[in-house]
Amino acid sequence: MSSTRRQYPFHLIEPKWQQQWDVQATFRAWSPGERIPAAHPFGQRHGLRDETATTLNLPPKFYVLDMFPYPSGAGLHVGHPEGYTATDILARYRRAAGFNVLHPIGWDAFGLPAEQYAVKTGQHPRVTTEANITTFRRQIKSLGFSYDWQREIDTTDPRYFRWTQWIFLQLYHSWFNPASNRAEPIESLPYPAELKSEPERRVYRDGKRLAYVSDAPVWWCDALGTVLANEEVIDGKSEVGGFPVVRRPMRQWMLRITAYAERLLQDLQTIDWSDSLKEMQRNWIGRSEGADVTFTIDAPGLPAAERQVTVFTTRPDTLFGATYMVLAPEHRLVDAILPATWPANTPVTWKGQQPGATQSPQAAVAAYRAYAAARSDRERTDLAKEKTGVFTGAYAFNPANGERIPVWIADYVLLSYGTGAIMAVPAHDTRDLEFARAFNLPIRTVVQAPGNTESIGFVDDGISVNSGFITGLPTPDAKRNITDWLVQQGLGQARVNYKLRDWLFSRQRYWGEPFPIVWKPGPDGEPFHEALPESELPLLPPPLDDFKPTNDGRPPLARATDWLNLAGAQRETNTMPQWAGSCWYYLRYLDPANDQAFCRPAAERYWMGSAGHPNARITPGVDLYVGGTEHAVLHLLYARFWHKVLFDLGHVSTPEPFYKLVNQGLILGEDGQKMSKSRGNVINPDDILKDYGADAFRLYEMFLGPLEMTKPWSTRGVEGVYRFLGRVWRLCIDESSETEFEQRCAANPDQAAQHLEALRPHPAIQATAPDASQLRVLHACIRKVTEDLDHLRFNTAISALMVFVNEAIAWDVRPLETLRTFLVLLHPFAPHLAEELWQLLDTQRESAAGTGTPVAPNTIAYLPWPRFDPALLVEETLEIPVQVNGKLRDRIRLPADTTPAQVELAALAADKIAPLLRGKTLRKIIVVPGKLVNLVVSP
RNA sequence: GCCCGCGUGGCGGAAUUGGCAGACGCGCUAGAUUCAGGUUCUAGUGACUAACAUCGUACAGGUUCAAAUCCUGUCGCGGGCACCA
């Protein structure tokens, strides 16, 4: 490819404009309070030369955001620029349309690969990270994105993570007040009267914080040497690397995201995300309505508290059909309720399968627990066919009918959901039915299925039967009725349950934000935690040269003994997960250099849309956020959670961070398979850029298909858009001047860039007014490109640009203004080429050149977006298809203003139509004005 | 298993939301330019036909004057969740 002739000298044009944009800071976004230099094109466009920007004099904001990359050692792949190109096109389009566009980029640079590399080589993660960022920055800049580089951020920069730590302190110093349904400062926490002493109150307070310490079992990954959040564990393996994980109790920091479950769910209705993405978040939050029901164990000797077992059910209406109970094997009451011996007549199959462990309930339960603990999560879920469990020997009373029902333990009941115990209604729950059939437990129908449907195994709404006072009621009424009854009896209450769990927030790693927390010995010997004052931020990680965990299994930070030990206290040695930095980066872009606050309120209110605007409707939050689906639950849920906390505490002004969110689709290899090194089908953007240039690369990424769709890469396809750019070039450039340019380049390659000056406009380009058909072609293009950009339909917008060029290249006279307008339409897609040709066709430059005064190259970026005139699009005559019985038979050409009655007559008289109607009965004539005529006839 | 989304030429994909199926691009065919290859330009390109006609948007039905588009069922592909009571 490199041996063939270039379509146009993109290798000279692209660096030229990238440098120009850098020097001019062309895409610098101005916040209220900043002074706009007289020479900046933004100020020139908006009449703000050398003025201080304010909320009132700035145009409306448009915040278009990319998911910032993790700068890996592998460099950029073609997936990154897909979303980045889409947002860049939008940014350039909105800038032209008169918005103040914020389009930033940065680096999500804490993370495991750099740390693992450090463990292997001793190379400090800081060094690796900086090298990788340099590569990423170079690659991203070579694509010509219109980022405001003065707002570049790096999550590993102490000036950045200082504020990540500060936000953690906000969480630490807050509690969630259920009465106000929001976070409040911990000082407002009311204490129960019986808590008098400060140590007692401290324990209570620490249990209420949004950031708290928990000893619950967590997922531990040996291969990664750290714990992981629930969301990072998939099918019993780590999301990163696919290593096995095990459940292990450890003392860990948690964030109380569950307090926000309902608001995270409800507020989805206020934002413009795809249905599938909202659905994924809804599934993850997993709201279900039902009731708590208390069962009493038949063990009169036990204290009352140990005889009560509460279950959660979404079907309280089936309570009369509960023929047994199941507790999770780890349920805390199991040991208390076990009788010493099996009840008489216990079937042998109920005592468990473990040989030698069936003599007593204790032995059977212990054996089953050992078996369940040994099963990995994958085995539990994949081998879901065979239900297992053992009878505990205990019985409970069904509160509805007083029946004595056996209590089992089984691993199909999860300790972590609901109350860790269920009432089993085998007739109307698939899992309970499987279990009941396996162990021959009673099955009682309590819901009548409609029609002839079998009632056993029926899990939908029906009519209650065999159910005492709710018999005959439809399911929704029965639920309400029995829940009211349970409340009256003091046996239960309505309850909403969520699958969402609190967020495990600590990791045993080096390359992350240290917690601004110290531990002190308590009066009872138990250590307690305290926050560092804000004045001690940023808390830097200690210098280390060994990044492995300590030999006794503590995190790497514990190696730094000088750092670790303070007077009377020890530092927290865990670090924050990678998600921490990405939870709020979109806020830091608003005011990236601020060392007094994470973000100045005036900037926050302007860019997040709370300041309003006199002449425009402003979007609350980020206007457009584009990124991959892989962040559908993790990053996007965490970020919404932090944002809501900051909102409650008055630090941000909108309840949601990202108003409109779009997931870009995956780009597959040329073989239609996912790109991967092992398949050898990875496309490197650097190679494409070298052969075709950045503009062709951008254009192709967008021309491939709809942004959100998964689609295969084709390097042949790149040549198609590259040829299109070549045609644009030849539309504007005089061929003989190009020959001269090439000769000069060949003679003097070192000064190739200067030789661009030799290029002259195509002789067919004249300063004449376009004719009606040229205007129609142009305005059809303006209309299509504008509407398509408004709906993110980049592929069809590009096709409209191609249609224009295919037409215009055939014109004998190419009106100058028409081509200039076209270049404005082209520039968001192919900015370098558009800038170069604009400069060439710039009449002011021509005249200034005559005076010998050098003219600074200006930019196309701030020219007004053209508007289309609908009047110019109206065709004088229309071609109307004529159908007979829905089949196309002829086309007739008629003036656009023909009345429907005249269209009818013309259709009937058409050459190919009249013979078809002979001898038939005309039943009906349908005229769709301007569209088509359908004649309905019968023989 | 459950929940979303999608099935259109040889390929990527269009179709103003019920109104001319296949825009635009790739590929392919023929011609022009060229010593030649490449580039560029011109014309053609759903299937079957000499042509007229006929058929054609995964498959089978249905609604409608009219269906890629709406409804029912089936099959296939992709994604998410997965014993969540």
Range name among A181-190, A261-270, A777-786, A853-862 with the lowest pLDDT average: A853-862
Residue A96 pLDDT class (50, 70, 90 cuts):
very high
User: Which residue has its C-alpha nearest to nucleotide B2's C1'?
Assistant: A283
Contact yes or no for A861/A823 (Cβ under 8 A): no
Residue A318's contacts (CB-CB under 8 Å, 6 or more residues apart) are: A425, A427, A428, A429, A446, A447
Q: Which nucleotide is nearest to A429 (CA to C1')?
A: B85
Task: Compute the distance between CA of residue A151 and CA of residue A147 in angstroms, rounded to an integer.
Answer: 8
DSSP string, A890-925: EEEEEETT--HHHHHHHHHH-TTTHHHHTTSEEEEE
* Residue A849: predicted pLDDT: 47
The CA–C1' separation of A751 and B23, in angstroms, is 43
Question: Which tens digits make up the pLDDT trace of A646-681?
Answer: 999 999 999 999 999 999 998 988 888 888 877 788
Question: Strand A660-663 and strand A272-273: pairing?
Answer: parallel
Nucleotide nearest to A278 (CA to C1'): B4
Q: Mean pLDDT lowest for which of A683-687, A750-754, A781-785?
A: A750-754
Q: Is the pLDDT of residue A453 over 50?
A: yes
Cβ(A276)–Cβ(A491) below 8 Å: no
Whether residue A855 has pLDDT greater than 60: no
Give the pLDDT band of residue A616 (cuts 50, 70, 90): confident
* Matching residue, tokens 């069809």: A796
Of A627, A753, A630, A528, the residue nearest A18 (C-alpha): A753
pLDDT at residue A250 greater than cutoff 90: no
Q: Is the pLDDT of residue A155 over 90?
A: yes
Residue nearest to nucleotide B80 (CA to C1'): A280
Beta carbons of A396 and A407 less than 8 angstroms apart: yes
* Residue of higher predicted confidence among A851 and A165: A165
Q: Output A147 or A682, whichever has higher pLDDT.
A: A147
The whole-number pLDDT of residue A381 equals: 55
- What is the C-alpha separation between A793 and A798, in angstroms, rounded? 9
Structure confidence at residue A376 as a pLDDT band (50, 70, 90): low
Distance in angstroms (rounded) separating the CA atoms of residues A607 and A53: 13
Query: What pLDDT shows up at residue A856?
Result: 46
Question: A876 CA to B30 C1', in Å?
Answer: 36
Residue A2: the pLDDT is 40
Rounded, the Å distance between the CA of A524 and C1' of B29 is 90
pLDDT value of position A568: 87
Q: Structure tokens of A214?
A: 């928990």
Question: Nearest nucleotide, C1' to the C-alpha of A318?
Answer: B85
In the predicted structure, residue A549 carries a pLDDT above the cut 60: yes
CA A793 – C1' B78 distance (Å)?
A: 21
- Residue A850 clears pLDDT 60, i.e. is over it: no
Residue A570 buriedness (CB in 10 A; 0-12 / 13-18 / 19+): middle
Distance A61 CA to B69 C1' (A): 37
Residue A385: the pLDDT is 64
Query: pLDDT tens digits for A307-348?
Result: 999 999 999 999 999 999 999 998 999 999 999 999 988 999
pLDDT at A378: 53
Q: For residue A910, how many C-alpha atoms fall within 13 Å in the half-sphere facing its CB?
A: 25
A787 closest-nt by C1' vs CA: B16
Note the CA–C1' distance, A791 to B17, in angstroms: 15
Closest listed residue to residue A281, CA positions, set A292, A297, A267: A267
**Is pLDDT above 60 for A731?**
yes
Rounded, the Å distance between the CA of A775 and C1' of B33 is 32
* ipTM confidence: 0.95
The pLDDT of residue A615 = 81
Nucleotide nearest to A499 (CA to C1'): B84
Residue A134, number of CB atoms within 10 A of its CB: 11
Name which residue leads in pLDDT, A513 or A737. A513
| Strand nucleotide closest to residue A275 (CA to C1') | B4
* pLDDT tens-digit series, residues A403-450: 999 999 998 998 888 999 999 999 999 899 999 999 999 999 999 988
Q: How far is the CA of A760 from the C1' of B69 (A)?
A: 50
| pLDDT for A5 beyond 80 | no
Tens digit of each residue's pLDDT (9 = 90 or more) over A73-82: 888 888 889 9
Which residue gives the smallest C-alpha to C1' distance to B67? A886
CA A727, C1' B42: Å apart? Answer: 16
Q: Are A113 and A828 in contact (CB under 8 A)?
A: no
**CATH numbers and ranges of domains, chain A:** 166-215+251-256+502-510+514-574 (no CATH), 288-496 (3.90.740.10), 715-872 (1.10.730.10), 875-938 (3.10.20.590)
Q: Which nucleotide is nearest to A802 (CA to C1')?
A: B24
Q: Which residue did the predictor score with more confidence, A673 or A639?
A: A639
What percent of chain A shows pLDDT beyond 90?
A: 64
- Does the pLDDT of residue A878 top 90, yes or no? no
Residue A848 binned pLDDT confidence (cut-offs 50, 70, 90): very low
- Between A832 and A457, the more confident residue is A832
Instruction: Give the per-residue pLDDT at A4.
Output: 60
Q: How confident is the model at residue A237 (pLDDT cuts 50, 70, 90)?
A: confident
CA nearest to nucleotide B23 C1': residue: A799
Residues in chain A: 939
Mean of pLDDT over chain A: 90
Q: A275 CA, B55 C1': separation in Å?
A: 38
Find the mean pLDDT for residues A696-720.
92
Residue recorded with tokens 């009621």: A473
Q: Which nucleotide is nearest to A936 (CA to C1')?
A: B65
Nucleotide nearest to A706 (CA to C1'): B13
Task: Provide, in whole angstroms, the distance separating residue A660's CA from nucleotide B17's C1'.
Answer: 23
Question: How far does CA A133 lie from the centroid of its chain?
Answer: 23
d(CA A899, CA A360) in angstroms, rounded, equals: 94
Cis peptide before A538 (omega within 30 of 0): yes
The gap between A59 CA and B59 C1' (Å) is 55
Q: ∠ at Cα A105 (A102, A106), nearest 5°?
A: 140
> For B4, which residue's CA is nearest its C1'?
A276
Over residues A528-544, mean pLDDT:
94
Q: What is the mean pLDDT of residues A496-510?
A: 91
Which residue, counting CA atoms, is nearest to the C1' of nucleotide B24? Answer: A799
Is the pLDDT reported for residue A245 higher than 90? no
Q: DSSP of A472-501, one letter per residue?
A: T-BHHHHHHHHHHHHHHHTSEEEEEE-S--
Residue A473's pLDDT band (cuts 50, 70, 90):
very high
Per the DSSP assignment, residues forming a β-bridge with A888 are A883
Q: Does residue A397 contact residue A404 with C-beta atoms inside 8 Å?
A: yes
Q: How many CB atoms lie within 10 A of CB A448?
A: 16
Strands of the sheet with A226-228, listed across from one edge: A226-228, A217-221, A246-249
What does A555-582 look like in DSSP terms, one character per residue? -GGGG-HHHHEETTEEE---B--THHHH
A791 CA to B75 C1', in Å?
Answer: 33
- Does residue A734 register a pLDDT over 80? yes
Contact at 8 Å (CB) between A457 and A433? yes
- Count of Cβ atoms closer than 10 Å to residue A546 Cβ: 12
Residue nearest to nucleotide B13 (CA to C1'): A705
For residue A887, give the nucleotide whose C1' atom is nearest its CA. B66
Residue A264 CA distance to nucleotide B80 C1' (Å) = 19
- Greatest alpha-carbon pair distance for chain A in Å reads 113
Q: Which residues pair with A676 in a beta bridge?
A: none
User: Cα dist. A707→A43, A142, A789 in Å?
Assistant: 33, 22, 12
Q: How far is the CA of A836 from the C1' of B40 (A)?
A: 22
Query: Any idea which of A133-137, A613-617, A625-629, A641-645 has the lowest mean pLDDT?
Result: A613-617
Residue nearest to nucleotide B15 (CA to C1'): A796
Which range has the top average pLDDT, A375-389, A667-681, A726-740, A749-763? A726-740
> Strand B: which positions are within 7 A of a protein CB?
3-5, 11-16, 19-21, 23-27, 38-42, 54-55, 65-67, 78-85
| Average pLDDT rounded to a whole number, residues A30-59 | 93
